[in-house]
Structures are given as structure tokens and as C-alpha cells.
Amino acid sequence: MQPESLAEQIRSTLARIAHLADTGSVEDYVEQFTREAEWNMPANPDRGIPAQVRRGREEIAAGVVERRAAGIQGPGTFTRHVTTAIAVDVTSETTARADAVWTFYVDTTTSPKLSGVGSYADEFELEDGRWRLSRRVISRG
């Protein structure tokens, strides 16, 4: 088997983030981010979530814990993040950008419903020998 290209490594990281948001531990999820990562999310009035900017793994983890405590995402919530239409631009040996479309489904074990759609504008850095998300800007619609 041939090693993954840099763009494919980025796509794998994006897929891993989506899987871990739904079924993984908070620790494994935040390990996908650089130590100083920035995560930007617009308000979601349907779910009662205000706009958020989280900086660093600790703040990002706190946001995950809050959403899981509210039953919005994570193990046992029967939700799924799906990331598609991923366009990757490797900008150097240690940086990359990706644009992707996300969809979010609820009630996945009974009557799956599309709950949201939008896009991710992501930046990545090679940190400790792994591609990690360094900045995410989430858009709805």
C-alpha cells in the first residue's frame, strides 16, 4: 500500500474529527487540533447555541463538554456529522487549507433528519508529525 498523499492525510483528519465529534472521547477529539487552535461557530438559534470563538485545546474541549451535556452531540445523542465536497490546498510542507460542506443529522437510529448544513473553512498545521486543525470557521447555510 502506498502512503497517503498530504491532501489525503488532511481528508482523513477531517473524517476523524467528524467521527470523534459523534462517538469519540473529548480527549481524542481535541487531539486533532493544534495546541493553539481557533474554533469559530456562528449562533444556532434552533439549538439555543450562541456564537462562539474557542482558542486552544482547553477552550475547545470545554465547548464539546457543554454541547454534550446539553445533549446536542456526542455518544448517546444519535447524531452524525457528515463532511463532504472537501477541497484541499497544501500551501507548504507544514500548512494546508481545506474547504468542505457539512451536514448534521439527528435521530439517526429512529427517523434520521437533516438538522443543519453549512461549510467549514479550515487551516491545518503539521504539529508533532501529524496534521492537525489549527483554525476552523463554521458557516451555516
Domain ranges of the chain: 6-140
pTM: 0.92
Tens of pLDDT, residue by residue over 74-132, are 999 999 999 999 999 999 999 999 999 999 999 999 999 999 999 999 999 999 999 99
Pick the CATH number of 6-140 from 3.10.450.50, 3.30.43.10, 3.40.50.150, 3.30.70.340: 3.10.450.50
Confidence of residue 1 (pLDDT cuts 50, 70, 90): low
Q: Which residues pair with 127 in a beta bridge?
A: 130
Mean pLDDT of 55-65: 97
Report residue 4 as a C-alpha cell.
497517503
Strands 52-55 and 80-90: unpaired
Q: Which three cell numbers stand for residue 5?
A: 498523499
Average pLDDT of the chain is 94
Q: Which residue has the higher pLDDT, 44 or 1?
A: 44
- Report the C-alpha gap between 89 and 74 in whole angstroms: 29
Residue 83 in grid coordinates: 463532511
Q: Where are the beta strands (DSSP E) in the chain?
A: 33-41, 52-55, 80-90, 95-106, 113-127, 130-140
| CA dihedral sign of residues 34, 67, 19, 42 | negative
Kindly indicate the confidence band of residue 46, based on its pLDDT and cuts at 50, 70 and 90: confident
Give the pLDDT score at 23.
Answer: 95
R_g of the chain computed on alpha carbons? 15
For residue 2, name the pLDDT band (cuts at 50, 70, 90). Answer: low
- 61 burial type by CB count under 10 A (0-12 exposed, 13-18 middle, 19+ buried): middle
Q: How does residue 33 score in pLDDT terms, banded at 50, 70 and 90?
A: very high
pLDDT band at 47 (very low <50, low <70, confident <90, very high): confident
